[in-house]
Amino acid sequence: MSEPASARSADVQLVQAKPEHVSELGRICYEAFKDIADQHGFPPDFPSARFARFVIGMLVGRQDVYGVAALVDGELAGSNYISLTDPVSGIGPISVDCAFQGRDIGRKLMQAVIDHARANRIERVRLLQDAFNTASLSLYASLGFDVKHAVAYLRLAPASAADHSIRPVEERDLDVLDQLCLRNYKSSRRNELAAAVHAGLSPLARQRDGRLTGYLIPGVFGHGVAESEQDAVAIACQAARLLPPARAFCFCPLDNGSLFRAFLKAGCRTVKMMNLMAMGPYEQPAPVWMPSVLY
């Protein structure tokens, strides 16, 4: 028989995640994600504790991200993050120290970032979760998130030749590309795209017939939109040709079967399946769109 919630609940203190927490929160994040991935035979999201510390450090350092850390008896036990960059907020990565899991800490960390979104009058909150992760699926569903799309996480295949219709996104492209994003995603991601340009995250755009027909920020934190499947695949495979293999990834919504087939035909490979979950109003995006690990 399972324990009543009151017996297993940890006495948790929630505080804003700070630079002095990064090292320990990075370790927790690495170990928690590795533990669940190992259980299911998938590669870990964070290849090393060092990389997890880098990601957590980056999130904690950003003004447009709110991070919350959980403390049990003064000891760090987990953390969670929410982006406030654009009108839709994305949650993650959430992790709870393996030694503290199953004691309601994950639920409290989720509620804390949802409350933060509400306090900032953000109605639309979204996330992606690993389809194999029955715990996080149940946690998010019980908090009010609905599954909107099954999504494939793809390892991109490098294009065999240069494509001169594809070039880096520049500051002057932001307005036009955001129009395309609004048309397809039904929501602006302008600030995110601008941040990717400034941070050197190598967003690429395609210019065809005298106009911009799509863009992609490659990698797990990237996203993209395009006028056609051909534009999306051409940009993605060109990104794989130009970038180190560790950054040659993107997501494909599986309800667009024809886009998925186009990626497969280009040699891209499915790493795992995820679910895009949403809380609050949701407008169905129009093809072609590729989410980030946040939404």
Nearer to ligand COA by C-beta: 103 or 124?
103
Please answer whether residues 90 and 295 qualify as being in contact, where contact means their C-beta atoms are separated by less than 8 angstroms.
yes
For ligand COA, the binding residue among 15, 71, 131, 139 (CB under 6 A) is 139
For ligand COA, the binding residue among 105, 114, 225, 262 (CB under 6 A) is 105
Binding piece for ligand COA, criterion CB under 6 A, among 105-113, 151-159, 203-211, 242-250: 105-113
**d(C-alpha 76, C-alpha 229), whole Å:** 45
For ligand COA, the binding residue among 26, 106, 203, 222 (CB under 6 A) is 106
Binding piece for ligand COA, criterion CB under 6 A, among 13-21, 61-69, 125-133, 285-293: 125-133
Residues within window 191-220 making contact with ligand COA, judged by CB under 6 A: none
176 is a site residue for ligand COA (CB under 6 A): no
Which residues 6+ apart lie within 8 Å of 139 measured at CB? 106, 107, 110
For ligand COA, the binding residue among 138, 168, 176, 265 (CB under 6 A) is 138
Coil, strand, or helix at residue 231?
Answer: helix
For ligand COA, the binding residue among 79, 129, 238, 292 (CB under 6 A) is 129
For ligand COA, the binding residue among 25, 96, 204, 243 (CB under 6 A) is 96
Nearer to ligand COA by C-beta: 273 or 286?
273
**d(C-alpha 82, C-alpha 69), whole Å:** 12
Strand pairing partners for 80? 68
For ligand COA, the binding residue among 40, 142, 176, 183 (CB under 6 A) is 142
Nearest 5°: the CA angle 57, 59, 62 is 110
99 is a site residue for ligand COA (CB under 6 A): no
**DSSP codes of every residue in 99-165:** GGTTSSHHHHHHHHHHHHHHHTT---EEEEEETT-HHHHHHHHHHT-EEEEEEEEEEPPPPSS--TT
For ligand COA, the binding residue among 49, 62, 84, 107 (CB under 6 A) is 107
134 is a site residue for ligand COA (CB under 6 A): yes
Q: Is the peptide bond before 176 cis (omega within 30 degrees of 0)?
A: no
- CA distances 204 to 120, 164, 242, 259, Å, are 31, 12, 10, 18
DSSP code at position 219: S
Coil, strand, or helix at residue 39?
Answer: helix
**d(C-alpha 223, C-alpha 288), whole Å:** 11
For ligand COA, the binding residue among 135, 176, 246, 286 (CB under 6 A) is 135
Least distance from ligand COA to the Cβ atom of residue 45, Å = 8
**Count, residues near ligand COA per rule CB under 6 A:** 23
Q: Closest residue (Cβ) to ligand COA? A: 106
Least distance from ligand COA to the Cβ atom of residue 178, Å = 28
Residues that bind ligand COA (CB under 6 A): 5, 32-33, 36, 94-96, 101-107, 129-130, 133-136, 138-139, 142
